[in-house]
Structure 1
């Protein structure tokens, strides 16, 4: 039996903030506010930001804290209706036709109706998300929409406007209760205004040093305090470098801290930074730009800042 106390939506911004905290997600007030409004108004929430800043994690946390199923649609180039919404089970339909022919059934109209029944329908994520029960509607994550084609983006308009899909052979299927919709984009291309108008919007930015340190304490609690502080300051400094092609996100901060902990590091050193840059940076040009002298320079600034603050 689902926990109805957990499945109840938060009644205020403070409750939303608390719910995110219970899901081990360190959010700022503005994110908690727009999330509360999206839940209250039953509107999709469109989250935009760089890769690795925690957009997808919000949907996962909502699924956990609200005790709702998570239905994820991972977008990619070429994504179409048959992969995202529904398709007919053609092999099973052919078997049904062969059985009908063998039994002497010749009424084509009746046969057509027989093979386009709901049991022959293969439901994909978007259709599954519309079939949730009241009070237990799922969390629908449409992840990295910017990777999908514009034609698919246009198809989403009906779903996001009326929470329904039209299947020519069956008619219109409408949600009895709208799913909780989270849409993410890494902004590799612009999403059309028509879709954005149907959503509430929030830009998920890189966290400041204090919030990033709080995230590390939750996600990498085994790391030494000094190491965590140095990692955060190092990455904050790195993100200010305009020559870096892909700045490290929160996911890389966590991975790097955990990797350094596995190497029994209790503080950063030039050698450990250089040896583990492949955990933090994912482009060779960025690694070549930072390793060696530049890494040592950044680390020196980190040590100076920690000395000034007495940490």
Structure 2
């Protein structure tokens, strides 16, 4: 029933929402990519746009087809949350996390509650970069967690050089690195999530993992990132993207914050976006949940999630650009 509600929220009337201007940019770039024209919108990495291009080959050219990928990524994020969390917090806790993800609002406008406003109540149904980026990032952390905590009872990853437990853990580390590469090559913001992944062995007292699983994950990341970027110019495209984003941050980006037009967003801007986009009731529940987790259950899972959240908060607080949908990460 909960999954059914998630599917309904993700896909119902998917094409009815008024398109966001950036959807045309990303869907159009994806369409060009799959037809061999690889120069569009290189100020952002290509993975999400590649997927949007493939979707348009299957379902037809246009934003609506690209939205199928975004909505599927949003729903898949909830599935990953459930599969990951059901072992450490149990079936009901995992189902609550997935259901919360699937059914709560995430808008880019404070007017989302007014149907006549035309604002999207769920921006992760739109063909933006964030839905794909977030899905791969959550899956990367989940795979790393499995690598550390998913081996046989009484055995530690690395306890055999190429035995069953080590090989299984190495596979999860490789998957984690690949997924993080797919996330960061959708939009570079989630590269900071590597801090949470890197902290996992230390939090579990498994220092040897850095010389085994850590190397596997790093190699996997490099291989996948290279495979994604080579068709669009390799390191030259990476340098262009970093230079463009650096210049973009320096000059800022005009946006409206609390009714005022600003060019350089203050550090607290994304906090305002969260309140406007999800509403005060949702924010209140989130705050209570975070405090309860820190007080009642301050374990390794909370630490990993806290590190990932803190890394993203610091990243977005230190940039001068805070568009209304950035907080979705």
- Name the TM-score, length of structure 2 as normaliser: 0.28
Where is the helix percentage greater, Structure 1 or Structure 2? 2
Higher Cα radius of gyration: 1
Where is the strand percentage greater, Structure 1 or Structure 2? 1
